[in-house]
Chain A
Amino acid sequence: LAKTTQPISMDSYEGQEVNITCSHNNIATNDYITWYQQFPSQGPRFIIQGYKTKVTNEVASLFIPADRKSSTLSLPRVSLSDTAVYYCLVGDERDNYGQNFVFGPGTRLSVLP
């Protein structure tokens, strides 16, 4: 089970690009990296998933270096509505991953006006 480490909190201003890095030194060959976003009083929402290099969707980009020991979630031009907790998860879908589907405390992003 690959453990992840993220900053507990980050502050940013509207319009800036935000990069949240997750460390996962023990990532296994078959593990994917998945990021979720959670607003207060709501369930988490899937943002993006990747295995290597770069993945981009309409919401964010995910950068994964060749050694895959870390990953960076990039949010372009954040707005106040991006204030949320962001979770990084690592795991192999083929496992009995219930026990392995571990959300840490996440990164609390505060976007300021």
Chain B
Amino acid sequence: DTGVSQDPRHKITKRGQNVTFRCDPISEHNRLYWYRQTLGQGPEFLTYFQNEAQLEKSRLLSDRFSAERPKGSFSTLEIQRTEQGDSAMYLCASSSTWGGTAYEQYFGPGTRLTVT
């Protein structure tokens, strides 16, 4: 257990539905990241926050995807009008810019999304 939690762990939805995932980072970490991972591939960066500010989004991120981090604590990732190609593991990670390396990210267990 890294201290990063994600909910739900599994989500099955029908194409066209909206889904929302939650991530609770390590409390003292100011950076939070979202990744997507498909079978046999490494995690693919989606977006990241420093405190409550969303500083960067992947150029590949569809406008159906939106993320928030209100008050700089937990974060949510919403996918609207899901498509079968959205089926993947969605990973959240956090890190601290104080006293640690930003490349030392702590990952949650992920949310596995299946779109039918």
**B42 and A98 contacting across the interface, CB-CB below 8 Å:** no
**A46 and B106 contacting across the interface, CB-CB below 8 Å:** yes
Selected interface stretch from B14-22, B44-52, B78-86: B44-52
**A97 and B42 contacting across the interface, CB-CB below 8 Å:** no
- State in angstroms the CA–CA spacing of A96 and B48 once bound together: 10
**B45 and A45 contacting across the interface, CB-CB below 8 Å:** no
**A49 and B104 contacting across the interface, CB-CB below 8 Å:** yes
A: contact size bracket: 20 to 34
Mark interface residues in A23-60 (1 if CB within 8 Å of B CB, else 0).
Answer: 00000000010100000011111100100000000000
**A43 and B93 contacting across the interface, CB-CB below 8 Å:** yes
Cβ of B53 < 8 Å from any Cβ of A?
Answer: no
Contacts of A15 in B (CB 8 A): none
Cβ of A65 < 8 Å from any Cβ of B?
Answer: no
Distance in Å: Cβ of B45 to nearest Cβ of chain A: 5
Distance in Å: Cβ of A90 to nearest Cβ of chain B: 10
- Closest Cβ neighbor of A8 among chain B residues: B40
Q: Tell me whether chain A's interface is mostly helix, strand or loop, or mixed.
A: loop
Which residue of the partner chain, among A43, A45, A49, A99, contacts B103 with CB atoms under 8 Å? A49
Cβ of B116 < 8 Å from any Cβ of A?
Answer: no
Distance in Å: Cβ of B23 to nearest Cβ of chain A: 11
**A43 and B107 contacting across the interface, CB-CB below 8 Å:** yes
Binding site for A on B (CB under 8 A): 2, 4, 33, 35, 40-45, 47-48, 55-59, 91-93, 101-110, 112
Top 9 closest A-B pairs, CB basis?
A: A43-B107, A103-B42, A98-B56, A93-B102, A34-B103, A98-B48, A46-B104, A103-B43, A43-B91
